[in-house]
Amino acid sequence: MLTESEAIERILSAVHPLPPQSVPLRETFNRFAAHPLLAMVPLPGFNNSAMDGYAVQAADSKNTLPLRVTGEQPAGSQRDLKVGPGEAVRIFTGAPIPIGANAVIMQEDVTKIEGGTQITCNEPVELNENVRLLGCDICVGQRILEIGQRITAARIGMLAAQGLSAFEVTTKPRVAVVTTGDELAVAGKLLQPGQIYNSNGVMLQAMLGGLGIDDVTVQHAADDYLQTADTLRGLIASHDFLIICGGVSVGDHDCVRPALQALRVKPGFWRVKIKPGKPLLFTQAPRADGSQCTIFGLPGNPVSAFVTFELFVRPALLKAMGASAQELKHREVRAVLDSKLTNGSNRPHYVRGSFDGQKFIPQGGQRSNELLALGNSNALLRMEPDSELAAGTDVTAILM
């Protein structure tokens, strides 16, 4: 049985980023840069005013002599105006700085005289005060995006300011989810004795959507290894990732391993030393074009499926999407444990709980079938095997 670190190391060493593709800028949101980017356009592209006011020579603002207003410079045009000693030009935010001017005095800091044809300066300004200098934000050749960085809304704005209408990001993986088990019923249908509703399929689809993967194939296979094998065969051929939920243990009705054997797919590993989620399968299947389909088999209990997806499937998908090593990590927070916890197992236990900004509060039942506690949780706390944590202990929680 592998440890968590051994399992994630084997998974990430086997998964590689998919090819790049150029997409319209608006579609790059929450995806990952396929290559670094050097700035081609300086920002700002010219010296311009940061304020509505008057362009002046800074030295002239340090005395009380009137300055003659010789013109007006709005944003969006270049009027080639000039400012000499004793002169000022009315200017607006974003407008080009006239030749000869080296500062802008705010309109609140001047007094208009002679009907606005002259001004006196009430507050002195320093050299380049209220002036945005050429390239002071971004200069040509500056590295503004690294490979594997997430494209946020702010970065889309930065790319648009470079004049780009499209950008290369890593291709999203094609993902299929297969739920298994005769006991699972479709939502909306009357439950028969011994049946439960299929919650895992839609839950995993939602978790994939949280990663920006919204084109997901979801199918169900009965507890029949030949039917399961037929289902898996078609999905392996057409998808980059296959997530199978349930049927990965060693019970008489667990059909996933026999189905994979029928397809001549050997499990890379199928158990990890964690709680919940010990029966976890990972492997890859070759396809006709020489690529691989990465396969995960998750436990059928919903909490186990959720936790193993977060810990093992999520980083694999992000790596395939081109995410940097930093992006693969969960966000961790320091917290104070709200109540005593005990882990009597010989496996690390991921406790579900809520983080309120200060405290980690364990939520309800911690068995692998208990969805209410999971639904009220936003964080996981890893407990070492055979350990106890007292209330008030400083802990590190994983946000999810």
- Which residues lie below 8 Å from residue 19, measured CB to CB, with a gap of 6+? 170, 171
Residue 253: is its pLDDT beyond 80?
Answer: no
Closest CA to 246 of 272, 281, 285, 293: 281
Tokens 């917290």: give the residue. Answer: 335
* 0.75 surpassed by pTM: yes
Name residue, tokens 């030949």: 226
CA angle (17 as vertex; 14, 19 as ends), nearest 5: 135
Rounded Cα–Cα distance for residues 256 and 254 (Å): 6
For residue 243, pLDDT beyond 60: yes
- Distance from CA of residue 126 to its chain's centroid? 42
Q: What Rg do the C-alpha atoms of the chain give, in angstroms?
A: 31
Question: What count of Cα atoms within 13 Å lies in the side-chain half-sphere of residue 293?
Answer: 29
Neighbours of 48 (CB within 10 A): 20
CA count, 13 A, side-chain hemisphere, 379: 24
Q: What percent of the chain has pLDDT over 70?
A: 98
Q: Is the pLDDT higher at 285 or at 193?
A: 285
pLDDT the model gives residue 251: 53
Indicate the burial class of 94 (C-beta count within 10 angstroms; 0-12, 13-18, 19 or more). Answer: middle
Cα 141 to the center of its chain, rounded Å: 27
Domains along the chain with CATH numbers = 4-18+172-328 (3.40.980.10), 21-43+137-170 (3.90.105.10), 48-132 (2.170.190.11), 332-399 (2.40.340.10)
Q: Which amino acid belongs to residue 372?
A: L
pLDDT tens digits, 259-299: 888 899 988 898 999 999 888 999 999 988 889 999 999 99
